[in-house]
Protein backbone atom coordinates (compact mmCIF):
# COMPACT_ATOMS: atom_id res chain seq x y z
CA UNK A 1 0.00 0.00 0.00
CA UNK A 2 1.10 3.52 -0.68
CA UNK A 3 0.71 6.34 1.76
CA UNK A 4 -2.64 7.37 0.23
CA UNK A 5 -4.01 3.81 0.77
CA UNK A 6 -4.23 2.82 -2.91
CA UNK A 7 -3.07 -0.65 -3.93
CA UNK A 8 0.50 -0.89 -5.25
CA UNK A 9 -1.00 -2.27 -8.48
CA UNK A 10 0.19 -0.33 -11.55
CA UNK A 11 -3.15 -1.04 -13.27
CA UNK A 12 -5.21 0.46 -10.46
CA UNK A 13 -7.02 3.54 -11.70
CA UNK A 14 -8.07 4.90 -8.32
CA UNK A 15 -11.27 6.78 -7.58
CA UNK A 16 -11.71 10.05 -9.41
CA UNK A 17 -14.43 12.06 -11.11
CA UNK A 18 -14.60 9.50 -13.95
CA UNK A 19 -15.36 6.61 -11.59
CA UNK A 20 -18.94 5.80 -10.68
CA UNK A 21 -20.59 2.98 -8.79
CA UNK A 22 -22.30 0.19 -10.72
CA UNK A 23 -25.68 1.88 -10.30
CA UNK A 24 -24.57 4.01 -13.28
CA UNK A 25 -24.83 0.96 -15.54
CA UNK A 26 -27.97 -0.54 -13.98
CA UNK A 27 -29.83 -0.20 -17.30
CA UNK A 28 -27.16 -2.10 -19.21
CA UNK A 29 -27.15 -4.87 -16.57
CA UNK A 30 -30.95 -5.09 -16.77
CA UNK A 31 -30.71 -5.49 -20.56
CA UNK A 32 -28.20 -8.32 -20.13
CA UNK A 33 -29.55 -10.19 -17.09
CA UNK A 34 -33.26 -9.32 -17.26
CA UNK A 35 -33.46 -8.34 -13.59
CA UNK A 36 -32.32 -5.63 -11.20
CA UNK A 37 -28.67 -6.57 -10.62
CA UNK A 38 -27.47 -3.70 -8.43
CA UNK A 39 -29.09 -5.25 -5.32
CA UNK A 40 -27.78 -8.77 -6.04
CA UNK A 41 -25.06 -9.99 -3.68
CA UNK A 42 -21.78 -11.12 -5.23
CA UNK A 43 -18.48 -12.36 -3.87
CA UNK A 44 -15.17 -11.08 -5.24
CA UNK A 45 -13.01 -13.98 -6.43
CA UNK A 46 -9.86 -12.03 -5.55
CA UNK A 47 -10.39 -10.80 -1.98
CA UNK A 48 -13.59 -12.57 -0.89
CA UNK A 49 -15.55 -9.36 -0.27
CA UNK A 50 -19.31 -9.94 -0.26
CA UNK A 51 -21.42 -6.96 -1.29
CA UNK A 52 -24.18 -5.80 -3.60
CA UNK A 53 -23.22 -5.49 -7.27
CA UNK A 54 -24.14 -1.79 -7.02
CA UNK A 55 -21.07 -1.20 -4.82
CA UNK A 56 -18.65 -2.17 -7.59
CA UNK A 57 -16.70 0.72 -9.13
CA UNK A 58 -17.56 1.38 -12.80
CA UNK A 59 -14.99 2.51 -15.37
CA UNK A 60 -15.45 3.51 -19.04
CA UNK A 61 -19.13 4.36 -18.56
CA UNK A 62 -20.57 5.78 -21.77
CA UNK A 63 -18.45 3.73 -24.14
CA UNK A 64 -19.23 0.35 -25.68
CA UNK A 65 -17.69 -1.47 -22.71
CA UNK A 66 -17.73 -1.20 -18.93
CA UNK A 67 -15.32 -2.57 -16.34
CA UNK A 68 -16.65 -3.13 -12.80
CA UNK A 69 -13.97 -3.36 -10.09
CA UNK A 70 -14.22 -4.50 -6.48
CA UNK A 71 -14.65 -1.57 -4.11
CA UNK A 72 -12.25 -3.24 -1.64
CA UNK A 73 -9.34 -4.68 -3.65
CA UNK A 74 -9.88 -2.83 -6.99
CA UNK A 75 -9.55 -6.06 -9.03
CA UNK A 76 -11.82 -6.58 -12.04
CA UNK A 77 -15.03 -8.45 -11.19
CA UNK A 78 -17.15 -7.95 -14.34
CA UNK A 79 -16.47 -6.79 -17.90
CA UNK A 80 -19.47 -6.02 -20.12
CA UNK A 81 -19.49 -4.90 -23.74
CA UNK A 82 -22.30 -4.01 -26.13
CA UNK A 83 -21.55 -5.27 -29.63
CA UNK A 84 -22.51 -3.49 -32.85
CA UNK A 85 -25.26 -6.06 -33.50
CA UNK A 86 -26.89 -5.24 -30.14
CA UNK A 87 -25.74 -8.39 -28.34
CA UNK A 88 -23.54 -8.28 -25.24
CA UNK A 89 -20.33 -9.98 -24.16
CA UNK A 90 -19.96 -10.53 -20.40
CA UNK A 91 -16.92 -11.76 -18.48
CA UNK A 92 -17.76 -12.30 -14.80
CA UNK A 93 -14.87 -14.55 -13.81
CA UNK A 94 -13.90 -12.06 -11.09
CA UNK A 95 -17.01 -13.08 -9.12
CA UNK A 96 -17.18 -16.36 -7.22
CA UNK A 97 -20.98 -16.17 -7.28
CA UNK A 98 -24.05 -13.97 -7.64
CA UNK A 99 -26.89 -14.63 -5.18
CA UNK A 100 -30.11 -14.01 -7.12
What pLDDT is attached to residue 5?
Answer: 42
How many angstroms separate the CA atoms of 91 and 100, rounded? 18
pLDDT tens track for 51-89: 999 999 999 867 789 999 999 999 999 999 999 999 999
Q: Does residue 8 have a pLDDT over 60?
A: no
Determine the Cα–Cα distance for residues 73 and 48; give it in Å rounded to an integer: 9
Tell me the C-alpha distance between 90 and 60, whole Å.
15
- Note the pLDDT of residue 60: 81
| Arithmetic mean of pLDDT, 4-30 | 67
Q: Which residues, 6+ apart, have CB-to-CB distance to 96 below 8 Å? A: 42, 43, 44, 45, 48
In the chain, where the domains are located: 20-99
Q: What is the mean pLDDT of residues 30-38?
A: 94
pLDDT the model gives residue 83: 92
Amino acid sequence: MTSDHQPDNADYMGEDSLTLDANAVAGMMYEIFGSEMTVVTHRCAHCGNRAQVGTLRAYCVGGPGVVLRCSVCAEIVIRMMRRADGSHLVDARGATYFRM
